[in-house]
Structure 1
Amino acid sequence: MSKARTTITDIARELNISPATVSRALNNHPAISRQTREAVIALARKLNYHPNLLALSLLRKRTNTIGVIVPEITSYFFSSVIGGVQDLLTAQGMNMIIGQSNESLEEEKALVEKFTSIRVDGFLISPSRETKDYGHLQVLKDSLFPLVIFDRDCEDLEVDKVFVDEYRGALQAVEYLIHTGCRRIAHIAGSATLSTARHRLAAYRDALKKYQLPVLDDYIIESSGFTPEAGIEPTKHLLALPEPPDAIFTVNDGVAIGAMYVIKEAGISIPNEISVIGFDDEPYSCYFKPSLSTVWQPTYELGMLSARILMKRVNAAQEAFTPKVEKLFPELIIRGSSR
C-alpha cells in the first residue's frame, strides 16, 4: 500500500497549530512569527510535503498553464516555435501543455475541449489543415479565454494573431529566380486550405505578372503534403511536360528535397538546367548536394512573440482590447541549388 501524501493538516497536527497558520507560514505571511515559520518549513521538508497545485489553482482561479495546439510536433518548424514559447513562459513562471492535432479538425476540437476542462489560462493555436470552420475557436473567444492564433490564419476570427510574412518571402524567392535568368518557373504548392500556402502561391503569381512572364496552370501543382515523398510525383509530371521548367519553387524544404531527388535521378543538372528553391530553412537543407536555397523563417521568435502577446492578455484580467496582428520577416538564403 502506498504511503499517504503529507497535507497541511498533518503538519498542523504535529506542531499543534491550525492549518491556516501552516498555510500562512508556507506563504511567508507577515503575521506569522519567524520562529513559527521556520518550524513549519523544517517539518514540511522532513515530511516531504508538496503543495496541492490543483487546489491552489482553484483558489486563485489560475492554473499557470497555457494550452498549445499545433498540427504536428516532429518538424523543425513547430519544434522551434515551441522552444520559443517554452522559454518565454518559463521566464514568467508559467507551464504549458502541448497537443498535436495531426492536421485533423476533430482532434483539434477535442484538444480545445480537453484543455478547457483542465482550466488552462489561455491558448496558443496553429490551426489544422482541415480547420475551415472556426466555431470552436469562436467559442473560446466568446468565453473570454485568451487566444493567439499563429502561423496559419483564421481569416474571419478576430483574435490576436502572429505570422511570418509568407508572401514577402515567396516573392523574394521567385524574383531571385527571375533575376538569375529563369523564365519557366514552376511552383509545387501546398494545400489551398492553408493560408500559408495561399500566400506563397499568390506571391508566385504576382512575381511572374510583375515581370510579364506567363502564369501557366501546367506549372502549378498542389502537393499531397510536406514530406520529400510529396514532391516526387509533381516533379515527375513537370519534367514530362513538352517544355519542362527551368526552375521550381516549392512550398517547403521537404517537397524541395523530393523534387531534387527526381531531377538528379533524371540526369538533369541542378542548378545549371533547373534551379530549386524551398521554404523554411530546415536544418538539413544545407547538407544536401547541392545545398538547398530556401526562405528562412524566424520560428523561435514566432513562438516567443506569440507567447508574449498571450501572457499580456492573460495578465490583463479580461480587459477589453483590440486584437493585434503581428508579422515577422523571413529572409532568402541562397545556396547551391539555384543559379
Structure 2
Amino acid sequence: MKKGRVTLKDIASKLKLAPSTVSRALNNHPAIGEDTKKAIKKLAEELDYQPNPMALGLLQKKSNTIGVIVPEITSHFFSAIITGIQDVIGPSEYNIMICLSNESYEEELTLVKKLSKMRVDGILVSPSSATKDFDHFRRLQNNDVPVVVFDRDCPGLEADKVLVDDYSGAYQAVEYLIRSGCTKIAHLGGPLNLSTTKHRLQGYLDALEKNKVPLRKDYIQHVKGFSHKDGIKPTKKLLELEDAPDAIFAINDNIAASAMHVAKKMGLAIPDDISIVGFDDEPHSLYFSPALSTVWQPVYSLGMLSARILLQRIKNTNSNEEFRMEVFKPELVVRASSREDSVGISD
C-alpha cells in the first residue's frame, strides 16, 4: 500500500471491488449486501480511511461547515462569543471555520468570497468597523447561504440578527454618572459608522437631555480603533480642555483603560477628580486600579443564540419564515472607578 492518505481506490483495490461499490457501502447504500459492507468497513477502519470532506461537499452540495467572521479574537468579548457558538455547533454535524476581518472591509469581502467557494452552509458575522455596504452578504443570501448578523448591526440588511441593546447600556451608565454628582460628562465614542457607536452615543445624548445636563460638543471624541493606544490622544484632548470633564463614558473597556492611564499620568485621582465607566465588562476590568465600572453584556449567550438561529435557518432554507431580531439587555456594573450614587434613584 502506498504511503499517504488512504483513498476509496486503495480499499477497492485491496478487496477487488469497484470504487463506487466501496463508496456506497461506506454510505450504507441498500443495494450493497451486508457481508460486503462489513468487509469494506472493517478494512476502512484498519487502514484509517478518512473521507475527503471537500469531495463529499461537492457530491452532497453542502460542506457541513459554518463560517464565522469576526473583527478580531484577542478580546474576551469575541472569544466568549465564539465559545458560545462552538458549544452549540460542536455537538451538531457541522464544523466551524473562524475567520478574522481585522476590522477591514476589503478583508471581509475576501473572506466571504473564500467561504462561498468552499460552499459553507451558513455564515455568522460581526461586520468590521470599516463595513458600510452589505451587498456581499446579500449575494450569499441570493445563493441560499443563510447569514446571521451578531453584535454589530447591518442597517438595511434583511437577515436574522442577534444584538445587544447598546442604547440602554449607555443610558444606564451616563444616568448613573449624573446621579453620582458628575455634571461635565464626556464620551469617548467608537468609529462613526458602527451601529454600536451610534446607539451608545444616542444613549449618552438622551441621558444628558433627560436629566437637563448641558451638552458640550467638545466633550465628544471618537477613537479610530478599539485598542488601548487608540484612546490615548482623544483622552488627552478631553483632559487638556480649559474646563475639563469630571467623568468619561468610554465605548469599551480598552478605551476606558486608556482614559484611566492618561488621567493618572496627568495627576488626576479616580474617581475623586474624574469618574470613568467602560462597556463590555472584560474580565481584566475587575483588576484595574481602581476596578472599572462598566456595562456587562451576555456575550456567551449572544454566541449561543446566534448559532442556534443559524442551524435552524439551515434546516429551513426554503421556508418563508420571517427573519428574527433578538436583542439582549445589558447591565451596569458599578465598581471603584466611579463615584457612588449620591441621589439614590432606582432604575
Q: TM-score range by the shorter chain?
A: over 0.9
2:102 is the counterpart of 1:102: yes
Deviates more, 1:193-202 or 1:66-75: 66-75
1:54 maps to a residue whose letter is M
Which residue of the partner structure matches residue 344 of structure 2?
none
Comparing 158-167 with 46-55, greater Cα deviation is found at: 46-55
Unaligned runs of 5+ in 1: none
CA displacement at 1:34 relative to structure 2: 4.6
| Alpha-carbon distance in 2 for matches of 1:60, 1:290 | 57
Note the 1:1-339 alignment, pairs <5 A: 3-29=3-29, 32-339=32-339
Per-residue displacement from partner, 1:117-149 (whole Å, max 9, x unpaired)? 111111111111111122222222222210111
Instruction: Provide the C-alpha distance between the structure 2 equivalents of 1:25 and 1:80, rounded to a whole number of angstroms.
Output: 41
> Deviations 1:238-288 (Å, cap 9, x if unpaired)?
222222211110001111111111111222111112111000111111111
CA distance in 2, matches of 1:47, 1:235: 63
Give the C-alpha shift of residue 12 in structure 1: 3.1
TM-score (norm 2): 0.92
CA separation in 2, counterparts of 1:236 and 1:317?
A: 51
Q: Displacement, 1:22?
A: 2.9
1:221 alignment partner, SS class: strand
Larger displacement relative to structure 2 (84-93 or 248-257)? 84-93
| C-alpha separation in 2, matches of 1:126 and 1:47 | 42
Instruction: From the superposition, tell whether residues 4 and 231 of structure 1 become closer, same or farther in structure 2 (CA, over 3 Å).
Output: closer
RMSD value, Cα: 1.8
SS of the aligned residue for 1:137 comes to: helix
Cα 1:141/1:26, change in 2 over 3 Å: closer
Cα distance, 1:29 vs structure 2: 4.6
CA separation in 1, counterparts of 2:306 and 2:89?
Answer: 11
Contact kept? 2:144, 2:317, Cα under 8 Å: no
Q: 1:51 to 1:175 in 2, by over 3 A?
A: same
Aligned length: 339
Does 88-97 or 317-326 show the bigger shift?
Answer: 317-326
Bigger drift between 63-72 and 239-248 goes to 239-248
205-214 or 265-274, larger mean C-alpha shift: 265-274
- Matched letter for residue 292 of structure 1: L
Letter in 1 for 2:208: L
Residue 36 of structure 1 aligns with an amino acid whose one-letter code is T
**In 2, Cα distance between equivalents of 1:129 and 1:20:** 49
Return the TM-score normalized by structure 1: 0.94
Q: How far off is 1:225 after superposition? A: 1.8
Q: Tell me, what secondary structure is at the counterpart of 2:291?
A: coil
Find the residue that maps to 1:91 and give its secondary structure.
Answer: coil
Matched position secondary structure for 2:225:
coil
d(CA) in 2 for partners of 1:325, 1:218: 35
Deviation per CA, 1:43-83: give whole Å up to 9, x if none. 11222221222222222211000111111222221111111
Matched AA of 1:301: S
CA 31–139 in structure 1, closer or farther in 2 if over 3 Å, else same: closer
State the one-letter code of the partner of 1:268: L
Counterpart residue type for residue 206 of structure 1? D
Counterpart residue identity of residue 148, structure 2:
V
Stretch of structure 1 that moved more, 33-42 or 328-337: 33-42
Greater Cα offset, 249-258 or 76-85: 76-85
Quick one: which amino acid aligns to residue 126 of structure 2?
S
Question: Which ranges of structure 2 fall in alignment gaps of 5 or more residues?
Answer: 340-347
Q: Aligned with 2:169: secondary structure?
A: helix
Q: 1:305-335, CA deviations, whole angstroms, 9 ceiling, x for partnerless residues?
A: 1111111111113222321111111111111
Once the two structures are TM-superposed, the CA of residue 33 in structure 1 deviates from its matched residue by: 4.9
With over 3 angstroms needed to count, the CA separation of the structure-2 counterparts of 1:9 and 1:229, relative to structure 1, is: closer
Q: CA deviation at 1:26?
A: 2.4
Q: Distance in 2 between matches of 1:32 and 1:141?
A: 39
Q: What one-letter code is carried by the residue in structure 1 that aligns with 2:90?
A: T
